[in-house]
Chain A
Amino acid sequence: MTTESRRLLSDVRALTGRVRRDQRLTWAALLILTAVTFAAIPVDYVGMTVDCTGEVCAFDRIGVLYYWPVALLLAYAAIALSYHRAARRRGLGTRVMPYAITGAVLTVLFVAAWATVRIYFDSHPPVSFPWWVMVADRLVAPAGTIGVALLVLARLERNVALLVFTLGYLAVVLVPIDFGWQEHGSVRAEFVPQQVINGVVLALGAAGFALSDRKRS
């Protein structure tokens, strides 16, 4: 009796895992996020207003504020649509909607946080914030919200590989890599390296998951 019960439970586990793998389209999600991340670089560069008086420069990344909410909402819609179409083609339903909704909510949170910061700086002089404020700032910034939403996708898909990848991505986003490029004179160029790194990490993830899918099929 227990042998049969064990065999049935083992079948249930194997089928569950197989369906979860068949529902995934992780590489497509990461590819779309890579595209919006790289497209943001010229928008940020050109859209930024810089006002220098002697050695001191004030900048306003207004282009980011206009670009990212629209880009992220379109990206989550495209990801949901891609998942839905792929799952339908394979003969399955999909679990992607909670991820897309989380992404949209985080996008609204990002806009609200940035609006709050702008209102604050209208009546307060610029100050140096403690490290945890800077980490929180990066977490609600677009690159951070992409990572948080990916954690939700990893949970929905019970995808350990995506969880590990996302934790690595969030580490890169929250603890920015700096080889001294913040010391040079161009304020506009200051933000480019980190954005390129974020995009490259996402692109490598997309390539890795695509290769893994190809090997499996």
Chain B
Amino acid sequence: MSTQTQNEFMLLFRGDEWCKGLSAGELQNVMSQCKAWFDRLVEQGKIKAGQPLVREGAIVSGKNGRLVSDGPFAESKEAIGGYLLLQADSLEEAVVIAKGNPTLVYGTTIEVRPVAQECPLDVLARQAVREEQLVSA
């Protein structure tokens, strides 16, 4: 996967109905606040990538992906509306950055996840092998 993953954090923006019920004025306000928040982070060199997502798509599951449904996705407040990939020194810093997002007051949640240095499956496999060795020792 990505080779320079140290100090990378994903912000996953959850909640896709938070802007319903806001007036045009409120929406304009939030949008310009978001733009300012984002532009500041870009200036600080914190943004590596980021995109909003269309509210549709597909869910693939089952062996060989034989089941394909149109959604619906997770319930609305869990639905992911977009993501940012940040460069930050620590999870704490990434959390502080997330706290500055203007949509939170309207009910979104932001999941902050460190990018893994290596595949979590490999890490788990090694742990399991170590545990097996301890048990059989």
Task: Please indicate whether A and B come from the same complex rather than being unrelated chains.
Answer: no
Chain A interface residues (CB < 8 Å from chain B): none
